[in-house]
């Protein structure tokens, strides 16, 4: 195995096809590790310089560590690409090469430690573990990070509906019946490129409408919306994105955006028109999205980060993402990030 430093966006982009093929070979890879997500992230938010690594076995790319080096809060910090807008990040590696590849990447980082003070690798999955101690001179700490949750999905939508809490299920039926009286109701699982563009516009409009009644939705301002439009478009072409709409009299009143891949749906965000809130359009559309995901073979529904109480109604199990800190003896202790 040989490491391959990747220090420019041109070099990183040139690996896109091999990187995509590697992603498809990793059974538990998350969409936030796909080049269709991370390349737009760098274009919109990248700062500092790339300090990424590929790992090859013979001529085959078997692992990727998409990292960058930047100054943050006065320290030189190495972080995963995708930080901030991604709910799960990790080293991307074929299972049989994972341990050796991570060990090699850590050795490469240790060899460059005169350039950085700390590596702060956040949003690692609950199952993450280091396969070996870091190289000599590098210390580490794995700690709990953000709350995450998921539901295990049954084989059929009928089993899913039967498993919902009785009172919750009854309330959903009542909302649907009342919504039927308000107009012609249609649920849509977007299929065509033309529908995708219209649905994406509706999603952002509904997000804005909802947040105008509270506070500005900073998560979708400026660069963030541009990033999502770019990344969603790329992952749509790769067959990973799902967009669902709830329409009343042909007018969108709720939209839901996520990713379906490797028998797992990742629910990213949604929006609804607050004028229709009494009908719980977001919950009705979420029920439809889960049922559609089951029909497409999903066996897990990831609610991603956050411990919002509503997730328990859908049978969510809560866990903690992890955070890996690496530093070395030249790093002043008072500059280490809080854990």
Average pLDDT over residues 161-185: 97
Q: Which residue has the higher pLDDT, 259 or 216?
A: 259
Q: Band the pLDDT of 330: cuts 50, 70, 90.
A: confident
pLDDT of 217 over the 80 cut = no
Average pLDDT over residues 207-231: 71
Parse the chain into domains and list their residue ranges. Answer: 2-146+320-335, 154-298
Structural tokens at position 227: 């990033």
pLDDT score for 334: 66
Lowest-confidence pick of 136-140, 186-190, 276-280? 136-140
Residue with tokens 């559609």: 292
Q: Does domain 2-146+320-335 have CATH number 3.40.630.30?
A: yes
Average pLDDT over residues 300-318: 95
pLDDT score for 132: 85
CATH tag, 154-298: 3.40.630.30
* Dist. CA 127–CA 115, nearest whole Å: 30
Lowest-confidence pick of 28-32, 86-90, 281-285, 327-331? 327-331
* Dist. CA 114–CA 125, nearest whole Å: 29
pLDDT of 212 over the 60 cut = no
pLDDT of 106 over the 70 cut = yes
CB atoms under 10 Å from CB of 177, counted, come to 10
pLDDT of 213 over the 70 cut = no
Q: Band the pLDDT of 211: cuts 50, 70, 90.
A: low
pLDDT score for 16: 98
Average pLDDT over residues 300-311: 95
Q: Which residue has the higher pLDDT, 133 or 46?
A: 46
Burial of 34 (0-12, 13-18, 19+ CB in 10 A): buried
Q: In degrees rounded to 5, what are phi and psi of residue 235?
A: -75, -25
Q: What is the mean pLDDT of the chain?
A: 93
> Percent of the chain having pLDDT more than 90?
88
Average pLDDT over residues 178-193: 97
Q: Band the pLDDT of 331: cuts 50, 70, 90.
A: confident
Fold match between domain 2-146+320-335 and domain 154-298: yes
Q: Band the pLDDT of 337: cuts 50, 70, 90.
A: confident
Say if residues 191 and 245 touch (Cβ distance below 8 Å): no
* Dist. CA 202–CA 67, nearest whole Å: 34
pLDDT of 77 over the 90 cut = yes
Residue with tokens 């990831």: 302
pLDDT of 300 over the 70 cut = yes
Lowest-confidence pick of 143-147, 213-217, 281-285? 213-217
pLDDT of 215 over the 90 cut = no
Instruction: Identify the CA nearest to 74 among candidates 332, 327, 323.
Output: 332
C-alpha distance from residue 226 to each of 34, 38, 45, 201, 233 (Å): 18, 14, 11, 12, 11
Which DSSP string do the residues of 84-129 spell out, in sequence order?
Answer: TT-S----EE-GGGHHHHHHHHHHHHHHTTTS-SEEEEEEE-TT--
Grouping H, G, I as helix, E, B as strand and the rest as coil, residue 214 is coil
This prediction has a pTM of 0.93
> Percent of the chain having pLDDT more than 70?
95
């Amino acid at each position: 195995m040989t490491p391959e430093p990747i220090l420019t966006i041109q070099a990183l982009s040139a690996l896109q096809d091999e990187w995509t093929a590697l992603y498809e070979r990793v059974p538990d890879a998350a969409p936030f590790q796909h080049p269709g997500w991370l390349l737009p992230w760098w274009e919109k938010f990248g700062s500092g310089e790339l300090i990424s690594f590929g790992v090859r076995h013979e001529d085959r790319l078997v692992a990727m560590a998409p990292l960058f080096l930047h100054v943050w809060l006065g320290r030189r910090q190495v972080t995963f690409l995708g930080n901030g807008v991604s709910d799960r990040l990790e080293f991307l590696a074929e299972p049989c090469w994972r341990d050796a590849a991570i060990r090699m990447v850590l050795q490469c980082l240790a060899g460059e430690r005169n350039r950085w003070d700390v590596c702060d690798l956040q949003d690692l999955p609950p199952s993450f573990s280091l396969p070996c101690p870091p190289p000599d001179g590098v210390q580490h700490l794995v700690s709990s990070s953000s709350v995450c949750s998921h539901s295990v999905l049954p084989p059929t939508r009928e089993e899913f509906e039967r498993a919902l809490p009785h009172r919750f299920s009854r309330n959903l039926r009542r909302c649907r019946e009342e919504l039927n009286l308000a107009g012609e109701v249609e649920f849509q699982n977007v299929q065509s490129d033309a529908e995708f563009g219209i649905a994406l516009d509706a999603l952002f409009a509904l997000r804005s409408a909802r947040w105008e009644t509270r506070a500005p939705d900073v998560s979708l301002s400026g660069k963030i919306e541009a990033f999502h439009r770019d990344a969603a478009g790329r992952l749509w072409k790769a067959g990973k994105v799902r967009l669902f709409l709830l329409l009343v009299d042909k007018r969108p009143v709720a939209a839901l955006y996520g990713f379906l891949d490797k028998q797992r749906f990742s629910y990213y965000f949604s929006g609804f028109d607050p004028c229709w809130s009494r009908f719980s359009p977001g919950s009705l559309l979420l029920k439809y999205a889960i049922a559609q995901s089951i029909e497409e073979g999903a066996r897990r529904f990831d609610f991603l980060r956050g411990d919002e109480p509503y997730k328990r109604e859908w049978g969510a199990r809560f866990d903690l993402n992890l955070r890996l800190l690496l530093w070395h003896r030249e790093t002043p202790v008072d500059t280490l990030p809080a854990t």
